[in-house]
Amino acid sequence: MVEWLGVGAGILTTLSFVPQVLRTWKTKSAEDVSLGMLFAFNGGITLWLTYGILTRKPSIIFANTITLALALTLLGLKLRYRRPS
């Protein structure tokens, strides 16, 4: 039961990034997304993924692998669509 709680939490937090990635891709603008937040979030997700691997927690590994892929995609789009200063 506890593992399913983790799976549910992982699904919801992972899916929360999908609309932002799709919106950024569609509008080709990530102006309203903070670069600092993306760096910090990607670092945190990397640490969570490492923790999941070290503790062998499938729900943490699965959710954070997908979340990291989405967050890195958003970071890449932010850098790609950044307006020159």
Contact 71, 38 (CB under 8 A): yes
Residues 32-50 as b or e (16 or more Cβ within 10 Å = b): ebeeeebeebbeebeebbe
- DSSP-derived secondary structure letter, 1: -
% of the chain at pLDDT higher than 70: 98
Going from N- to C-terminal start, the domains of the chain cover 35-85
Separation between Cα atoms, residue 55 and residue 1, nearest integer Å: 18
pLDDT tens per residue across span 9-50: 888 988 888 999 999 999 989 888 899 999 999 999 999 999
Q: What is the mean pLDDT of residues 64-82?
A: 93
